[in-house]
Amino acid sequence: MNILSLIDLLPQWLFVLMYPIPPLLLLWVIHRMFQRYAPHWKLEDRDENMAAGGIASAAALTGIVLAFVLALANQTIDNYQSEVSVEASQIRNLDTLLVATHGDSVEDCRKKLLDYTKSIVNDEWTQLTAQKGSPQTSKLLAKLDTCILSIDRQTQIKAAMYLEIVKLSSQITQSRESRISNSQSSLPPLFWFVMHLGLLLTIVLSALSFYTPGKIRVINCSIQIITLCILMALILILDHPFSGSNGISNQPIKDLISHLETKPL
């Protein structure tokens, strides 16, 4: 089971609370190993102060980077949500143009547009969690494009409206491709390697700093590690925007479906 599966399986608040547990267990294991296998590494007062400074520096640098990336990830989520709203608006506008055009072929296109919109929610949205589109939605979009190309455009007015319909259809296709591409975007593995390396260094220095641990020192080191882990967990959640209960919402598409179903075909 990978991290993405855990994000989908667990409530996000529980995932955030559980993420610090393995690092804290690792801290205890390393601390016990130092005591058992390297007792001569016990730090003197001056060395302990230097270790405490190293812990603070490593935790601070890692925390600053994580906080900056967290802000960027949150902004990216907002942008992706706005793009979903724009996609819904494009579909709504296309349906309005089709209504104004009239004709039997146009009514058939409206039905295919409604089927495509429903497929986004019913077939494709769950596939975005796996960072891919739905073949069924692709087929329905292709049928919609074929239907639009068959619209009668003999009069000048219909020809002008047809150009707008084709333009909107192209924008809808681009919005879908952008949505699928957004589901595939994530932070590079190198970022997570560096961040976890910083966390590991903080854990090792913390284990070294309390051979004879006092309560305040243990609490201080634990709080620093827990804080870093919580930031990492939040970024992991936001780095998979279509996963979890607080991911990108398809509510604008659902609202659009309700609107389209109330309009007579």
Q: What is the pLDDT of residues 118-146, one digit of tens each?
A: 999 999 998 988 888 999 999 999 999 99
Nearest-angstrom CA–CA distance, 19 and 251: 30
Average pLDDT over residues 21-35: 88
Q: pLDDT confidence of 183, banded at 50, 70, 90?
A: confident
Local confidence band at 202 (pLDDT 50, 70, 90 cut-offs): confident
Domain ranges of the chain: 3-262
pLDDT tier at 251, thresholds 50, 70, 90: very high
Q: 49 or 197, which is more confident?
A: 197
The four Cα atoms 171, 172, 174, 177 give a dihedral, to 10 degrees, of: 170
Mean predicted confidence (pLDDT) in 61-73: 88
Specify the higher pLDDT residue, 178 or 152: 178
- How many other CB atoms are found less than 10 A from the CB of residue 167? 13
